[in-house]
Structure 1
């Protein structure tokens, strides 16, 4: 087996493993983000920016990374919530 075939098989195995581990594929997540960005009412200039500097493509890229961090890296566990007085 050549080095190229070995690398190809390793990449394929890694892709399958990542797909099994992550509940959503990256492509599904990208589609969700794109759908949400399309719903934002914006008036873009000739360069693709709105009057406040929002650029949909830049936001799309940033949101993918931050969404992955939010969903799969940061975890919150609550302990002792019963010890907090009512109304707090």
Structure 2
């Protein structure tokens, strides 16, 4: 078994701290995305896609979209 130098031990400790910080950050992000935020996103997607589907060809041309673009967007799951 190899003995670690103090520099190697420091590097190992630093990498473990980095991993811990990374995990803590990931957990914090998960906690931020509450069910209320998910529900708000679903409601927003439903409203905007509903309005988008009611635009006529001239309005779609004005915003640079085609009917195929709208069809693709409208048929996405609401949570995406």
- Establish whether TM, by shorter chain, passes 0.5: no
**TM-score category, normalised to shorter length:** 0.3 to 0.5
Higher relative helix content? 2
TM-score by length of 1: 0.33
